[in-house]
Amino acid sequence: MEKSLDLKLHRILNDRSCRDFILADAKDADMAYGLSAPGQSPEYYGQEGKFRTLDEYRRLIRDVVRQGLVDIVLMSGSTSELLTIRERLFDNSHITPAIRANDTTDIWLAAGSGRYTSQPSHQFSTTTIDQAMCGKADCLPEERSLGANLGLYSVTYNNDVELDLHSLQIYKAFRLEAERKGFRHFLEIFLPNAPGEHAPERLTEFINDHIVRTLAGVPEPGRPVFLKIPYQGPEAMERLARYDSALIVGILGGSSGTTMDAFQMLWEARRYGARVALYGRKINNAEDQLTFIRYLRAIADGEIEPAEAVRAYHGDLAKLNIRPYRPIEEDFQATHQSLSYSGSSTPPVSRSVPSQIKSGPAKPDETTPDFSKMTPQEKVEWNLAKWRRILD
């Protein structure tokens, strides 16, 4: 089945004015955390916390794929081996499976490990390209289509020439191997996790400049299909997004925060040039993941605004008899969030949210209804029906 990711990448690269937006569910937390990776169990146990099992985590991935509203599901190598290769979960889905291709030391977040995130990041990869593509050490040419053909590769620059040079050398080796084997990747750039006394004075410029400098010498066959970076505000996003029409910019979700945090970040990043969003903890820690994704999809497609989506989301939770984590008044608040994987770094960006969020209206045509007369739920349902018609 043709993948929505490929359709959207083609349209975005050929027409920057198109409204396509790529949405990914990042279910690769077991590459970073320990037993807490699958997230908090939705049941209540008094004062005792209890986490989902890995089997439950993978069951949620199956649910997300069946729902069909995201374009990518990012997984660990072992989860992809089970779901993509053995179960063939993605064969009849427009969703693209992807794996985390490297697990740098700044995402080593096992409880009690202590010092890793406070030390400068080092490159490391648990899995290999062949294992991602066919589930074993060496693939035959005809076996390379069995598994995932897309991987997330992560780099963290710390303004240290030796460390950053080593990261670039390892990334270069990965790119060359991936190009030879027909494996695509998208590039994640984290904020410096431990720059010490050498912290960049202008962080947004440091990140943007490193991105374009890293890719300036890379020919098209070896380039990432898109970027995954922390959202550092409208100005930084707009400057990067307009720099190179062949570079598709995406954001990472960061820590959970409120529902308004998640919806507002997506809406704002999209407004200023982002064309991809990868949400992990924001989805995994939602009261109801499938409902949460429905509203992410509607916001990503420009059919509903954040404040309206928060109200509608709480209304759906009430219909499902699901208790929200916080009252709706608190869920409307925007919080200052950490945007590194570990949640230890914060960019210098205002997170204030206006009480009435306004955006330019979509260009109407004969098939567009009068959204002013529709409820939030009707808007979402109209958008989902339209999205499915495009993919069918």
More confident call, 136 vs 375: 136
CA–CA distance from 269 to each of 91, 192, 241, 349 (Å)? 31, 21, 10, 13
Contacts of 154 (CB under 8 A, 6+ apart): 100, 102, 103, 104, 107, 187, 188, 189, 190
**CB distance 280 to 289 below 8 Å:** no
Tell me the whole-structure pTM to 2 decimals.
0.87
Residue that the structure tokens 């993605």 belong to: 90
The confidence band for 87, taking pLDDT boundaries of 50, 70 and 90, is very high
**Chain position carrying tokens 């409880």:** 111
State the pLDDT at residue 62.
Answer: 98
| 3-state secondary structure at position 95 | coil
Provide the edge-to-edge strand list for the sheet that holds 22-27: 227-228, 184-190, 150-156, 96-100, 72-75, 22-27, 276-279, 250-252
Q: How far apart are CA 56 and CA 382, in angstroms?
A: 31
Instruction: Measure the CA–CA gap between 47 and 362, rounded to whole angstroms.
Output: 47
Q: Residue 363: its pLDDT value, please?
A: 39
pLDDT at position 383: 62
Judge contact between 58 and 50, C-beta under 8 A.
no
* Phi, psi at 93, each rounded to 5°: -125, 150
Q: Is the dihedral of CA 222, 227, 229, 235 positive or negative?
A: positive
Quick one: average pLDDT of 72-76? Answer: 98
112 has pLDDT over 80: no
Cross-strand pairs, 184: 150
Residue 273 and residue 245 in contact, taking contact as beta carbons nearer than 8 Å: no
Which residues in 313-338 are b (16+ Cβ under 10 Å) and which e?
A: bbebbeeeeeebeeebeebbebeebb
Cα 333 to Cα 172, 226, 264, 327: the distances in Å are 42, 31, 10, 10
Among candidate residues 280, 291, 286, the one with its CA nearest the CA of residue 254? 280
Q: Is 371 exposed, middle or buried (0-12, 13-18, 19+ CB in 10 A)?
A: middle
Least confident piece of the model among 145-149, 195-199, 245-249, 365-369: 365-369
pLDDT at residue 348 greater than cutoff 70: no
For residue 367, the model assigns a pLDDT of 52
- Does the CA dihedral 345-191-300-76 come out positive or negative? negative
> In the chain, what are the helix, strand and coil shares in percent, each to the nearest 5?
45, 10, 45
Rounded to the nearest integer, the mean pLDDT of the chain is 89
Q: Hey, is 98 helix, strand or coil?
A: strand
Give the model's confidence band at 346: pLDDT under 50 very low, under 70 low, under 90 confident, else very high.
very low
Q: Summarize pLDDT for 211-228 with one digit per residue, the tens.
A: 999 999 999 999 999 999
**Percent over 70 (pLDDT), the chain:** 83
Tell me which of 389 and 271 has the higher pLDDT: 271
The pLDDT assigned to 292 comes to 98
The pLDDT-based confidence of 335 (bands split at 50, 70, 90) is confident
What is d(CA 124, CA 53) in angstroms, rounded to the nearest whole number? 26
Q: What is the pLDDT of residue 388?
A: 53
Residue among 121, 131, 217, 133 at smallest CA distance from 172? 217
pLDDT of residue 361: 35
Burial grade of 381 (CB within 10 A; 0-12, 13-18, 19 or more)? middle
Q: Give the pLDDT score at 164.
A: 97
Set out the domains of the chain in order of their start, with CATH numbers: 4-391 (3.20.20.70)
What count of residues does the chain have? Answer: 392
Whether residue 351 has pLDDT greater than 60: no
Structure tokens at 59: 């069951």
